[in-house]
Structure 1
Amino acid sequence: MKTKLTAILFTDLAYFRTTHLSMQQGNIHFCSLLAGSKALTHKQWVAQLPCWHKSPHSPLRCLSSRTAMAEMEDDLADAMPRRGPEDDEDSERDEDERDWVVWDEEEEEEVVVVVDTDMHLSKVDTPPERSGHIAVVDGNFMFVWGGYKVCFQNAEAMGLFELYLPRSEMWIYNMETERWKMQLTEGELPASMSGSCGVCVDGVLYLFGGHHTNGNTNLVYRLPLRCPVLRWEKMTNLKGLAPTCKDKLGCWVYKNSLVFFGGYGYFSQEGHRGTFEFDETSIIMGNHIARGWNNHVHVLDLETLSWSQPVTKGNSPSPRAAHACAAVGNRGYVFGGRYMNYRLNDLYYINLDTWEWSEMSVPQNGPVGRSWHSFTPVSSDHIFLFGGFTTYRQTLSDAWLYSISKNEWKSFKHNHTESPRLWHTTCYGPEGEVFVFGGCANNLLSRERAAHSSELLVFNVQPKSLARLCMEAAVQHRDRLETIWDYLPKHLLHNLKQRMSSNNTMGS
């Protein structure tokens, strides 16, 4: 038996190189991996991996094949979002439990060596493709952080190799000039993660939960976005009983509080209210901490810096993850998500003053059940639904507008029907535009290489402002109008020149 593997080493200086390992007659030979390396038996190699993993100076993280995974136990953590088995024959991965999977049709053993430090920093003018990231809006700027992407593919072994995006990178999109820029962050950086929950309150980004190389987390970070230097702060002085470690949850911002709902993560702690549904596959795949879906509601008060869990009333939604939430007035809406083997199309809202749940009727001509979609408020009466992933493994490109006053769904016609997306982000801009960034364009759970996207899709859900129309006309008729641009106010001239120099504009 002979198996080839490509390993990636990253150092704290963002230096990396690829190294080939070969396994032959039970020995693993490190070829130019480390100076003075020697051949080790498979058991000796596996035995040393936990030591390298725990070393504070080592960038190595390891994930192994099905046969070695049980031996490594919790000492070996993921270098990508966890994957888990599915009942379907065409896939062994799902959005709730994502362990590293190497496809091996010939029953050969695979060993995967990867890294848990930042990837080399991006050297491009636009953000790399990604899924499972976060995005928030502050003024005319959209901030994008985290997620993961495909690094390369070992075609011979049919292995998908994916890495988290650098945790120090914050990508900022100017909605007026249609330009991207990357700014490095400082301070107490969170781990590189996917499936986190990010919201912006008064110019401050709050980050909760997610999945990193050691599993799920329930830590909270804050990042002021209006400062020249972006500096992360870890919120360690929070009082009260925190939620369990989880990812793929939803959040509503109401008054001066963050209200979190649902998600997929560790078993409920004593004192938590709500339902936890255990996922048996989380144990089958070698994880030794029970995971599952929940429908818990947790409130983080940003004034008192304390956690609380309200006593809810009414018919609460089932446990779920990879759902989408939207806050309109004092109502927190939640649509869809995955529960067990089902992807849902139910719609609930909770009164954020009385904590009473209400279920809305599901029309026959409404959107199909889905997870990994987006649900974005675009007015006091409408919420915009886009994309997602169905129970039948279809990646969606449909868009819908939900009318709150009429309790009615209407299909939204657009020009991006050939751009399906799942696990993307959606932000609503001040000019009545919905910005969809990143996500995966194909079946993320299939054996084919995931088509992570770096494309920015723009949907116009309201008429463009006069200023925006004039800006677009000036760009379109540059040859005729450029000679009189100098008569424009300075800030308009600056925006116009920035837009003209942009090489990444995306039309709607």
Structure 2
Amino acid sequence: MNMQESQDFKPVGRRGVCSFVHNSSFYLYGGALSIPGLSAFRQTPHVDIEMLDMHSGLWSSVETEVLHSLPQFTSGACCAVLNDNLYIFGGWLAGLRNAHIHELDLETFCWKKLPINNPENGPICKDKAAMFGYGDDMMGVFGGYGYPENDAHARLEGRAAQYHRDTTNPFFSIYWTNELHLFHVGKSEWIVPVVTGIPPPPCAAFSITRVDPHRLVIFGGKQVNSRVNEIHILNLDTWHWSGVNLPSRPEEPWPVGRSFHTACSLFDPSAITPPYPPCGTVFEWLPCPTPDLAPCEPAVTVDPKVIVLWGMSNDADPIDDAWELNVNTLTWKQVHLPEGAGPKRAWHTASAYHPSPCETLVVVFGGTSENMYVVPDQQLTSISKPSLLHFGVHRLFELCLQYIIEDKILMSHHDHLPIPAHLQQQIREQVTSNQQLSITRL
């Protein structure tokens, strides 16, 4: 593995990027570029990934090794991290979609394509879906937009999901879907969970957020011809859908319908106490005992909260707002982002880093501030400058470092302060980080 780190290196702005946080670093992979005269539809997959060190604020390009093949997508894939491995599913490339799963070892940075023993039981080829980890050896995939593999006109009856055809294309059958699958990494098999309740209608380009060890919150997305503002909650302990959650009164604050937005938990999901204990049920459809989803560390008792950032309206214009959702009460309040948070955008990416259970750093990257249905793809301008949004309780240690950095007298003599060498190094890294990132504290 080769890594090039530099204060001058910056990732290229693009749309439909996969992002994730692992070991105090923020990573980017893939995405559709806009190069004058060259359609993003004709781009080839990326080879390297880009990493932002959350301590130093420096970007680096990480060269990866390919064992079998690279993920075949330029945009719209979904990803999740499990056991020091990145898993990527689906995506879009040159008008085609896929149902492949690729694994990237985050220690050796080596790609491999995972075998699938029962592809006929798996998802259709699609993009704009969502992925999440389940237990120690399974990945979940929900929703998306696509078609059956090898046969765009195949019959979809009999599947445990709904499919709504996109009638705008009379020559090719493409569907919105609410498929829900689990992929067992060790067995290389797809599993169709048995769920109860009312699932979301077929949708794509929504947000999915883990808010505690047992719950996923889905918001918004496009359902056939409309971008919605519905909330759906999936309980991973009981596999029960909450049904549609909408405002109970017309005057209740609630964000407008949107797609291509992002959402992140404002607390560390693994440290939050769920409102109910795990039931310990062993489901017959699982090939192994139900995973233990309980938090490993002492939990904090708070109402989980989700921040929703920007997105695309029903008119396909980028939406200039942000909202905070209290998951337990299903109430919203609008968050007024200062100018330093960056421009409004859609089809961007955002991932959360939790230095402590009640502190969150959300890194936002990419997307576009233009109407993607009006501006030709090859002329779209993608946003390249990342933004860092800070939420929650500031650590005392962090406040002390910032005080030293912002005090001109202390900084002029910081090399002579009676503090250990490793703290001197952290001060220098914090100075670099402040110079490299646009930090907005909320």
TM-score w.r.t. structure 2 length? Answer: 0.78
Between 401-410 and 457-466, the greater mean CA deviation after superposition? 457-466
Question: Unaligned stretches of 5+ in structure 2?
Answer: 1-5, 149-154, 273-303
Per-residue deviation at 1:237?
4.7
* Count, aligned residues: 376
Offset of residue 373 of structure 1: 0.7
C-alpha displacement at 1:223, in angstroms? Answer: 0.9
Q: Does 1:415 align with 2:338?
A: yes
Aligned-partner residue type, residue 367 of structure 2: G
* 493, 497, 500: which one aligns with 2:424: 493
Secondary structure of 1:471's counterpart equals: helix
Counterpart for residue 260 of structure 1:
141
Q: CA deviation at 1:269?
A: 5.1
- Output the amino acid matched with 2:240: E
Looking at structure 2, the residues matched to 204 and 488 of structure 1 have their Cα atoms a distance apart, in angstroms, of: 37
CA distance in 2, matches of 1:123, 1:270: 54
What's the C-alpha RMSD, in Å, of the aligned pairs? 2.5
| 1:318-329 correspondence to structure 2 within 5 Å | 318-328=201-211, 329=213
Map 1:312-391 to 2 at 5 A. Answer: 312-328=195-211, 329-363=213-247, 364=250, 365-379=253-267, 380=272, 381-391=304-314
Once the two structures are TM-superposed, the CA of residue 414 in structure 1 deviates from its matched residue by: 1.8
The CA deviation at 1:441 is 1.4
Amino acid at match of 1:389: M
1:330-377 CA distance string (max 9 Å, x none): 122211111121001111112223222112531242000000011212
- Report % sequence identity: 26
1:43-82, aligned counterparts within 5 Å? none
Aligned position for 2:406: 476
- 1:456 is matched with which residue? 386
1:309 to 166, 169, 192: 192
- Structure with a larger share of its residues in strand: 1
Which one is further off, 134-143 or 311-320? 311-320
Match of 2:76 in 1: 195
Q: Which amino acid aligns with 1:185?
A: T
Q: Relative to 1, partners in 2 of residues 1:359 and 1:211: Cα closer, same or farther, differing over 3 Å?
A: same
Deviates more, 1:349-358 or 1:333-342: 349-358
Alpha carbons of structure 1 residues 460 and 148: separation in structure 2 relative to 1, 3 Å: same
The alpha carbon displacement at 1:248 in A equals 0.1
Measured against aligned partners, the alpha-carbon deviations of 1:114-173 in whole angstroms (never above 9, x if no partner) come to xxxxxxxx99601000110110001210110000121115xxxxx866654751121101
- Distance of 2:83 and 2:420 partners within structure 1: 29
Greater CA drift, 290-299 or 266-275: 266-275
Describe the superposition over 1:405-440 as per-residue Cα deviations: whole angstroms up to 9, x where unpaired: 211111112214761111111111123221111111
Summarize the Cα distance change of 1:189–1:469 in structure 2 as closer, same or farther, 3 Å threshold. Answer: same
SS of residue in 2 equivalent to 1:150: coil
Structure-2 separation of matches of 1:397 and 1:141 = 28
Match of 1:465 in 2: 395
Distance 1:151 1:468, change over 3 A: same
Q: How does 1:61-210 map to 2 (within 5 A)?
A: 125-153=9-37, 164=43, 167-187=46-66, 188-210=69-91
Structure 1 SS opposite 2:74? coil
State the SS of the aligned residue for 2:374: coil
Query: Aligned AA for 1:462?
Result: G
Give the Cα–Cα distance (whole angstroms) in 2 for the partners of residues 251 and 131 of structure 1.
18
Q: CA deviation at 1:176?
A: 1.5
Go from structure 1 to structure 2 and tell me whether the alpha carbon gap of 1:497 and 1:184 turns closer, same or farther (over 3 Å shift). Answer: same
Pair 124,485 (structure 1): closer, same or farther in 2 beyond 3 Å: closer
Distance change (3 Å), C-alpha of 1:422 and 1:353: same
Does the alignment pair 1:439 with 2:367? yes
Structure with the greater alpha carbon radius of gyration: 1
Cα distance change of structure 1 residues 488 and 438 upon mapping to structure 2, 3 Å threshold: farther
The answer to whether the Cα contact below 8 Å between 1:395 and 1:420 also exists between their aligned partners in 2 is yes
Partners of 2:423 and 2:21 lie apart in 1 by 21
Counterpart amino acid of residue 397 in structure 2: A
Which residue of the partner structure matches residue 395 of structure 1?
Answer: 318
Moved more, 268-277 or 291-300: 268-277
Structure with higher RCO (Cα < 8 A, 6+ apart):
2
Q: Cα offset for 1:221?
A: 0.8
The 3-state SS of whatever aligns with 2:384 is coil
Deviation for aligned residue 1:476: 2.9
Alpha carbons of 1:203 and 1:479: their partners in 2 closer, same or farther (altered >3 Å)? Answer: farther
> What's the CA shift string for 1:246-305, capped at 9, x where partnerless?
000012323232221110000475653111111123344xxx4x2110011111123433
Counterpart amino acid of residue 266 in structure 1: Y
TM-score, length of structure 1 as denominator length: 0.69
From the superposition, tell whether residues 237 and 447 of structure 1 become closer, same or farther in structure 2 (CA, over 3 Å): closer
